[in-house]
Structure 1
């Protein structure tokens, strides 16, 4: 019988039709695919400890949605599993691949169907769709994007061409929000996401830090150069993107008024090459400096290494920050302290990640079983160092298929809270990410970090010859 048990991670890739509140009613126990993913299914247990099952098939948008369920409950999981297999059999030769629901208004988001000539494709889109070893990312994105709501109508074209980075960031946020059990309101096209977490509503606008021919600096050669670039150069890069969004005044829209407004930012301005790592691997520390108008004091040791100044606080040892007013780099000068700018009190928080990359999608796809069996991925990670005086992170290397390796979509997401916000963000609505706060009176940055938070990483993909 062509019915196989699959992992929850793999089932999640195909099932983006769950209600955010479904966990109130039952818990999923086991997951299945039938007839080469024509159908998927799950065994569930309800609050009365009785078992049941759901069968899902693709609707006209190619989204898996419920088409059948158990007509009665079962005392044991084995009874439910036997009944599920019998129910699946009636669909094996029904001649259908699509099970219409009657409410489909749009055609599927065909991510791999080119909307422009090949010569106009973004280089990274070509890598994603053509290069060996990227099957995990390609299959993952192709599946999840069926459920993505394209309110503007140009998402796929942008993804394939000049908007690749920004559209990948939006998709990453969508995946995180969905898996974190947020509900979506797709009635509006701006800001990018209007979501709620068990009654708490949020408006989120995505933005990226982009390349500039006239301003960008070469990639740093070491941690010292990265630290120095983070003091003025990178705050100006972050500031350009954030102040542009500030001028949009999204909080004045009727559907945003009274809700926490969050700007989600990702740095793509310097891509990785064979010679150097991309800017997203070293730029994150500059965001604290720019948002709060502070900078860590430091000195140079005899060997030329950076030595950060520390201070004792009621919470323990912390970096010794100084308040600053401006950031200057070459021919540009901006005011520091984004959260203190006029009207910035309407921005509740800044959500940051450096993890919305093809490499991340490739790892997640490979772990879900959507890649090829001859593909191996080794991840080199810089992990958060709890020593506040250390410029250097903890370094670790792991095969992503090791039993001890874990990764979630919330990894790498950090929320910087605005101390002046009109509408503060309840951190309980974002329990699986890191949070940072600033006390202006004490010049103190504090927060809650995900254990073993990965600051940045590099993944090597190795492809072996498939066994005969």
Structure 2
């Protein structure tokens, strides 16, 4: 599969694709890493290259998931056109449907605003999280409906765990949401970081979790929170999520000696920052991955399927309304990738924050 030879005029190519395929020195490290990720990945409907070049994010997310599942040693069954993956881990066979949270029709795409210092100075975290929750909910509901209407009675789906894999790309600075909106959507657990940053003395033990119940859309209608706190979505066994499965992940793993990776890791001893060259970095493809299990699932996904150091898993106890977790104090929190490129007889710097 030839991903990188452009099939369309420049005005039809996605901004990210134009960036990674521009032929400048150093890009080959990134392209080679993507090709390693997708080794053996089939183009089942002969549309994958077109979509990678024109819409990008959803295709990139599928490549990431495929590489992650391979890293786990899952086996793949490609006989069925949908859902996106039918995989087996040890004694558990399950299906995975991949989706992305995208900008609204009248919204700004995630690449549509330069992330300059003034952007971060003026960011309103609660507004960013509100938008993220709404767009994540849209992706969740769309795929939930698709499962019930199209997938539920398929022989290879019925009676097996169904996993929804969601990645956020819905607005400029989307990576700043971390995992706050997805946990609010699924478990109605929301951390108000803006409140904490404004008055840290009121929270000596750090930000606290609160229940919001719902969030309002621009038209005034309400988005329900806590989707995994009742049996309504029992058909969805778990949600796989990562706000760090971005092009920065490629930079962090591509062995480019000119790429500098600054990352923050949560450890049992507290937050730790690491600044290293990509060729020396510790980041793995599974770092940043989070699995949210539905306590009401008709076909639960065993915790052992995704259990790995650095992979955070959450599950709710619907009797106590508490959120249980593992590896939450041993995981990647954020990453900034800076690549120094040479071209046109001058040095310049490209920064990817993710």
For this structure pair, what is the TM-score category when the shorter chain's length is used for normalisation? 0.7 to 0.9
Question: Which residue number corresponds to residue 37 of structure 1?
Answer: none
Post-superposition offset of 1:124: 0.9
Which of 214, 220, 225 is the equivalent residue of 2:124? 225
**SS at structure 1 position matched to 2:152:** helix
Matched residues in 1 for 2:203 and 2:28: separation? 46
Matches within 5 A, 1:243-322: 243-249=141-147, 250-271=151-172, 278-296=173-191, 300=195, 304-305=198-199, 321-322=209-210
Matched residues in 1 for 2:127 and 2:143: separation? 26
Question: Which residue number corresponds to residue 325 of structure 1?
Answer: 213
Question: Which residue number corresponds to residue 53 of structure 2?
Answer: 160
Question: Which residue number corresponds to residue 376 of structure 1?
Answer: 258
Structure whose CA Rg is larger: 1
The worse-fitting range, judged by mean Cα deviation, of 206-215 and 174-183 is 206-215
Cα deviation 1:272-304 (Å, max 9, x = unaligned): xxxxxx312334211111101233478957x82
Question: Which residue number corresponds to residue 273 of structure 2?
Answer: 395
Matches within 5 A, 1:108-127: 109-127=1-19
Contact 1:419 1:439 in 2 (8 A): yes
Normalised to the residue count of structure 1, the TM-score between the two structures is 0.63
Which of 227, 235, 243 is the equivalent residue of 1:338? 227
Cα deviation 1:332-362 (Å, max 9, x = unaligned): 4211122246741010111001222222223
Contact 2:167 2:241 in 1 (8 A): yes
**SS at structure 2 position matched to 1:147:** coil
**SS at structure 2 position matched to 1:445:** strand
Post-superposition offset of 1:381: 1.5
Quick check: which one's helix share is greater?
Answer: 2
Question: Which residue number corresponds to residue 346 of structure 2?
Answer: none
Matched residues in 2 for 1:204 and 1:223: separation? 37
Question: Which residue number corresponds to residue 209 of structure 1?
Answer: 101
Normalised to the residue count of structure 2, the TM-score between the two structures is 0.82
Post-superposition offset of 1:378: 1.3
Post-superposition offset of 1:414: 0.3
Is the alpha carbon distance of 1:319 and 1:203 closer, same or farther for their aligned partners in structure 2, counting shifts above 3 Å? farther
Post-superposition offset of 1:452: 4.0
Structure 2: runs of 5+ lacking an equivalent = 344-354
Contact 1:141 1:361 in 2 (8 A): yes
Cα deviation 1:163-182 (Å, max 9, x = unaligned): x0000000000001012100
Contact 1:323 1:443 in 2 (8 A): no
Question: Which residue number corresponds to residue 285 of structure 2?
Answer: 409
Query: Are 2:125 and 1:237 aligned?
Result: no
Is the alpha carbon distance of 1:304 and 1:111 closer, same or farther for their aligned partners in structure 2, counting shifts above 3 Å? closer
Cα deviation 1:102-154 (Å, max 9, x = unaligned): xxxxxxx1222333234321121111111433221112223554511112220
Is the alpha carbon distance of 1:169 and 1:325 closer, same or farther for their aligned partners in structure 2, counting shifts above 3 Å? same
Question: Which residue number corresponds to residue 351 of structure 2?
Answer: none
Cα deviation 1:82-109 (Å, max 9, x = unaligned): xxxxxxxxxxxxxxxxxxxxxxxxxxx1
Matches within 5 A, 1:405-444: 405-432=281-308, 433-444=311-322
Contact 2:161 2:236 in 1 (8 A): yes
Is the alpha carbon distance of 1:454 and 1:343 closer, same or farther for their aligned partners in structure 2, counting shifts above 3 Å? same
Contact 2:214 2:222 in 1 (8 A): yes
Post-superposition offset of 1:226: 2.1
Taking only aligned residues, the RMSD between alpha carbons, in angstroms, comes to 3.2
Matched residues in 1 for 2:54 and 2:194: separation? 45
Matched residues in 1 for 2:273 and 2:177: separation? 14
Matched residues in 2 for 1:297 and 1:434: separation? 21
Post-superposition offset of 1:200: 0.9
Matched residues in 2 for 1:112 and 1:298: separation? 40
Aligned length: 330
Post-superposition offset of 1:192: 0.5
Structure 1: runs of 5+ lacking an equivalent = 1-108, 272-277, 311-316
